[in-house]
Amino acid sequence: MATSAAVEELLRRGLLWQGQAMPEQQQQQVVASGWRELNQYLAGGWPVGSVNELQLSQRFSGELALLLPLIKQQESTTVWLNPPALPYAAGLDYQQLDLRNQLVIQEADAKLAVWALEQAIKHPAVGLVLAWCDELTAVQVRRLQAAAEAAQNLVFILTTSSTTEARSYVTRVQLHGVKVKSVAAPTHLHASNERSTSVSYVPILQFALRKRRSGWPLADLECAIPDYLPRWRQRSGRRLTA
């Protein structure tokens, strides 16, 4: 279907929006997510100045590993609001993360928490905000999005709710946990002396993009997140004696 000059014009002025192909000139400013497949789905990475939602089917199933590359490359401060457990200094330091740039806020009162979230987003010295909260109203999300855009900050709301109601998030991701795929690899390590096939296992994050700026929602996506996690090994359930 030949595109006529008029359509071309519309495209150029960004009024026409195409399903698949990413219009080049609309190259939004993005921050690489650190993972190859995810960057493809997000047309290069997380858009700058955006509030994004991560819906967790279950906590602690790869979400921090997913965000770690972002946190590591931050020169300015990353704010953690109401993390579900203690961000463990020894573990973060093992991954060479600069502890001095982390600021953790714990505020049980939801209203005050949102106020704090907004102050953090607006503050020039903050580069990335991770917030764990259950339910944000559309109004609150819109306000946060406006603040993020103004401050050109990157915000992630991690929640266990699976609501599908419309929110003005830029990206909405549904995480379905990790699956392990076996891959042939050079010799592999076994502490006990029993010979085992030289096979290695790669953790694959299952997720769905329910909303993204750069295109249609996509389901049943996969993204390998091998770094930062201990290696897997296929054991026939035999427990190593102490």
Partner 1 sequence: MNKWVYVHFPHLLLDYQLALQPPELTDAPQILVTSQQGQRLVHQATAAALQQGVRLQMAEVLASTLVTHLQIRDYHQQQEQRVLQQLAQLVYQDVAQLVLVPPQGLLCEVASLVRLHGGYPNLISYLQQRLQQWPLRYQLSCGYSPLSARLLAQAQQGVINENPAVIQQALAELPITACGFTPSQQQRLQEVGMQRLGQLMQVPRAELGRRFGKALVLYMAELQGELPSPQHYYQPPLSFQQYLDLLTEIPSWPQLLFPLKRLLQQAEAFLQGHQQSTRMLLIKAHHRHGQPTQVRVAFAHPVWQQQDLLQLSQLHLERQQLVQPVLGLTVVIQQTEPRVASNQALLTETKQSETNIDSLVSLLQARLGTDKVHRITLHQHWLPEQRGQLQAWQRAQAVQAAGQHSSLRVKRPLWLLPEPQPIQVQDWDLHWGPEHLATGWWLSEPVQRDYFIGVDKNQRQAWLFKDQQGWYLHGWFS
Partner 2 sequence: MVGSVKPVALHCLSNYSFLRGASHPHELIEQAYQLGYQAIAITDECSLAGIVRAYVAAREYPIQLLVGSEFRLDDVGTLIVLVRNKQGYAQLCELITLARSRCKKGSYLLQLDDFKQRLSDCEILWRPLTSLGLTPALLALAQRLRGLFGQRLWLAYGRHYQADDAEQYSLYQSLQQNTGIKVAAACQVTYHQASRQPLADVLVAIHEQQPLDCCLAQIKSNQDYGLRTAAELQQCYPAEWLATAAEVAKQCHFCLSELQYQYPAELVPAGMNATEYLRQLTYAGAAQRFPQGLKADVKAKLEKELQLIAQLKYEYFFLTIHDIVQFAQQQDILYQGRGSAANSVVCYCLQITAVNPDQIDVLFERFISAERDEPPDIDVDFEHQRREEVIQYIYRKYGRHRAALAATVIRYRLRSALRDVGKALGYPEQELRHYLQQIDKRDTECDWQQQLSAKVPGLLETQRGRWLLTLTEAIKGFPRHLSQHVGGFVIAATNLNQLVPVENASMPERTVIQWDKDDIEALRLIKVDILALGMLSALQKMFKLVREHYHQDYHLANIPPADQQVFKMLQQADSVGVFQIESRAQMNMLPRLKPHCFYDLVVQIAIVRPGPIQGDMVHPYLRRRAGQEAVTYPSAAVKQVLARTLGVPIFQEQVIKLAMVAAGFSGGEADQLRRAMANWKSNGELQQFEHKLIRGMLARGYSDEFAQRIFAQICGFGEYGFPESHSASFANLAYASAWLKYHYPLTFYCALLNSLPMGFYSADQLIQDARRHQLVVLPANIQQSHWHHQLVPLQQGYGLQLGLRLVKGLAADEIKQLIEQRPRSGFRNLQQLRDLGLSATTLQRLAAADVLGSLAGNRYQSQWQSLAHQAEQLPLFAHQQTAEATPDYLPKPSEFADIAGDYQTTGVSLRRHPLALLREQGWLRHSKSAQSLQLCRHKQLVTVTGLVTCRQRPGSAGGVTFITLEDETGMANVVIWARVAKAYRKAFLTSQLLTVKGILEREGEVIHIIAGELIDSSEQLARLGMQANRSRDFH
| Binding-residue pattern over the window 216 to 235 for partner 2, x denoting contact by CB under 8 A | ---------------x----
Of residues 180, 185, 199, 218, which one binds partner 1 by CB under 8 A?
A: 180
Secondary structure class of 91 (helix, strand, coil): helix
CA atoms 235, 60, 101, 28: torsion sign: positive
Which region, judged by CB under 8 A, interacts with partner 1, from 29-37, 118-126, 136-144, 163-171? 118-126
Residue 25 contacts which entry, partner 1, partner 2, none (Cβ below 5-8 A, type-dependent): none
Q: Which residue has the tokens 């100045």?
A: 49
Residues in the interface with partner 1 (CB under 8 A) total 61
Cα distance between residue 152 and residue 222, in whole Å: 29
- Told to check if 189 binds partner 2 by CB under 8 A, we report yes
Distance of CA 131 to the CA centre of its chain: 12
Residue 17 contacts which entry, partner 2, partner 1, none (Cβ below 5-8 A, type-dependent): none
Of residues 9, 93, 134, 135, which one binds partner 1 by CB under 8 A?
A: 93
* Tokens found for residue 57: 């089917």
Residue 193 contacts which entry, partner 1, partner 2, none (Cβ below 5-8 A, type-dependent): partner 2
Which CA distances in Å does 96 have to 2, 61, 67, 106?
52, 21, 14, 24
Which CA distances in Å does 94 have to 83, 91, 99, 180?
19, 5, 11, 24
Of residues 164, 187, 197, 236, which one binds partner 2 by CB under 8 A?
A: 187
179 and 61 Cβ atoms separated by less than 8 Å: no
| Binding-residue pattern over the window 190 to 209 for partner 2, x denoting contact by CB under 8 A | -x-x----------------
The residue (of 108 and 191) whose beta carbon lies closer to partner 2 is: 191
* Tokens found for residue 178: 């990790």
Which are the contacts of 139, defined by CB distance < 8 A and separation ≥ 6? none
Of residues 16, 39, 44, 177, which one binds partner 1 by CB under 8 A?
A: 177
Cα distance between residue 197 and residue 94, in whole Å: 30
Binding site for partner 2 (CB under 8 A): 187-189, 191, 193, 231, 241
Binding site for partner 1 (CB under 8 A): 58, 60-66, 68, 76-77, 83-95, 98-100, 102-107, 112, 115-116, 119-120, 123-126, 151-152, 177-180, 191, 203, 228-233, 235, 237, 239-240, 242
